[in-house]
Amino acid sequence: MTCREAIDVLADYLDRTMPADLAAELERHLAGCEPCRAYLATYRKTRALGTAVARVEMPDEMQARLLRFLADKLRSS
Amino acid sequence: MTRYSARVYRLAYGITRNAPDAEEVVQDVFLQIVYKGGGFEGRAALGSWIYRITTNLSLNKRRGKRRELETSLDELLPTYLADGHRAGDRAFLVADWSGTPERELLSGESRRLLEAAIDRLPEHYRAVLVLKDVEELSNEEVAQVVGDTVAAVKTRLHRARMALREQLTRHLGAGA
């Protein structure tokens, strides 16, 4: 397995949707390849950080506005 | 309703990256639920439909806006030598900042950089990233929502994450 092939399958590896023989081949590659180990570690961390930053919750006051908006619409329809 | 509105807002904000636009999308989605939502047989179908219309309305809202900010991902993807090894300076290739505490990375300059990087992702990439990584849908569910193949969804998701990783590594790598 080359670095290109290893990086191509990292998402499947983290999702655990990869066939066991391919996962074993990737792990053998990782064991001998420091750049790919660093890539996997930082890719995994990026996924966690991206999730945290992209997750923005609805403010409470907006929830209240939505209820008022829908009530007004229903009354006027 | 609170559960659905929270989901709708997260997805709408995740795609539009703009609170007023996301609020309008939420209102439009709930109007559609009120007027059309009675015909659904089960919660699963309703949930999937809500994600689909939220994604479509958010992409429409975003269309034409801030497109100039979007980055071409090609320059942020790994490059390779002819033999399949990564190309580039070895110190950069082995830079591993993953041990930095998440709390530290989610504050200050790193957070601003990551928010800007997410803002600049092409919108269809950001939609897939939010559906998969924030809403935790499966690749198959994401494909249904965005109306694309599973293979296309997986490619977009991987490229989006790699682009974010690259920008973080350029920022953090030297100090790792």
- Dihedrals φ, ψ of B21, to 5°? -65, -40
Q: How far apart are CA A9 and CA B5, in angstroms?
A: 35
In this predicted structure, what is the pLDDT of residue B64? Answer: 62
CB contact under 8 A, B168 and A42: yes
Instruction: Give residue B3's pLDDT.
Output: 74
- SS3 (DSSP) at B86: strand
Could you tell me if A11 lies within 8 Å of chain B, comparing CB atoms? yes
Nearest to A63 among B5, B80, B94 (CB): B5
pLDDT at A74: 82
Per-window interface: B 81-110 vs A, CB < 8 A: 83-86, 90, 93-98, 102, 105-106, 110
Please list the ranges in chain B whose pLDDT falls under 70.
37-44, 64-71, 174-176
pLDDT score of B40: 60
Greatest Cα pair distance, chain A, in angstroms, is 68
What was the pLDDT predicted at B35? 80
pTM for the structure as a whole: 0.91
pLDDT in tens, B143-153: 999 999 999 99
Q: Residue B46's pLDDT is what? A: 72
CA B98 from centroid of its chain's CA atoms: 21
Could you read off the pLDDT of B125-164 as tens digits, one per residue? 999 999 999 999 999 999 999 999 999 999 999 999 999 9
CA distances from A51 to B64, B80, B102, B110, B140 (A): 25, 28, 12, 14, 19
- Predicted confidence pLDDT, tens digits, chain A (77 residues): 999 999 999 999 999 999 999 999 999 999 999 999 999 999 999 999 999 999 999 999 999 999 899 888 888 87
Provide the pLDDT for residue B44. Answer: 59
Q: What was the pLDDT predicted at B154?
A: 96
Query: pLDDT value at position B43?
Result: 59
**Whether the Cβ atoms of residue A58 and residue B26 lie closer than 8 Å to each other:** yes
Residue of B33, B98, B166, B172 to mutate, interface with A, max A Cβ within 10 Å: B98
The distance of B49 to chain A (nearest Cα, Å) reads: 19
pLDDT at B72: 79
Question: How far apart (Å, rounded) are the C-alpha atoms in residues B95 and B153?
Answer: 28
Cβ-Cβ contacts under 8 Å, A34 against chain B: 93-94
How confident is the model at residue B49, as a pLDDT?
87
Residues paired with residue B80 on neighbouring β-strands, in sequence order: B86
Q: What distances in angstroms separate CA B30 from CA A56, B4, B150, B159, one per listed residue?
A: 19, 9, 28, 32
